[in-house]
Amino acid sequence: RKIVHTEKAPAAVGPYNQGIRAGNLLFISGQLGVDMSTGEIA
């Protein structure tokens, strides 16, 4: 099992990994688009 991380994506708001590689499987997380100036979902 290996944690997948890139600096090219926005930081997570909580204690989440961007992805996990387990053998030949890749589990990825997603996030909503948020307008950072208003906090509204884009």
Count of domains in the chain?
Answer: 1
The pLDDT tens digits of the residues spanning 1-42 come to: 999 998 988 777 788 888 999 999 999 888 778 887 898 887
pLDDT score, position 35: 85
pLDDT at 39: 84
The secondary structure of the chain as a DSSP string is -EEE--TTSPPPSSS--SEEEETTEEEE-----B-TTT--B-
Q: Which domain holds residue 6?
A: 1-42
Q: From residue 28, how far is each of 4, 35, 38 by CA, in Å?
A: 8, 22, 27
| pTM metric for this prediction | 0.59
Count, residues in the chain: 42
